[in-house]
Amino acid sequence: MSNYKEERPWGSFEHLLEADYCKVKRIIVKPGERLSYQYHHKRSECWVIVQGQATMTLDDEDFIYDSGEIVEIPVGMKHRVWNRGQEELIFIETQTGTYFGEDDIVRIEDDYGRE
């Protein structure tokens, strides 16, 4: 699979690897933006923060992660990332599990009106 980038209202993501055993993305979140509050039925995620500072909501509790830190998100955990900083937030997301489709996103809350 070749790399491709997808733009979103909050920033963008680039597919780095898509295989039957995992999917890897580079995700960029614009300053002041955040992703939807969501969870997944069929995959867990591991995020490595590589630039900026991430405010993470994990099961209704907020945490701060800096560049170089790792966030583990098991199947079913509600999660959201918010870039409260002045520079782009960049992290590498590795998905593992049984299914990696975008339709495994269950949105609880979304700033952009997506379901």
Class of the domain covering 4-109? mainly beta
> Quick one: average pLDDT of 62-67?
98
The whole-number pLDDT of residue 3 equals: 75
Q: How far apart are the first and last CA of the chain?
A: 28
Query: pLDDT digit string (tens) for 8-19?
Result: 999 999 999 999
**Residue 81 near residue 12, CB atoms below 8 Å:** no
Query: pLDDT digit string (tens) for 78-114?
Result: 999 999 999 999 999 999 999 999 899 999 999 998 8
> Quick one: average pLDDT of 65-79?
98
> Quick one: average pLDDT of 36-43?
97
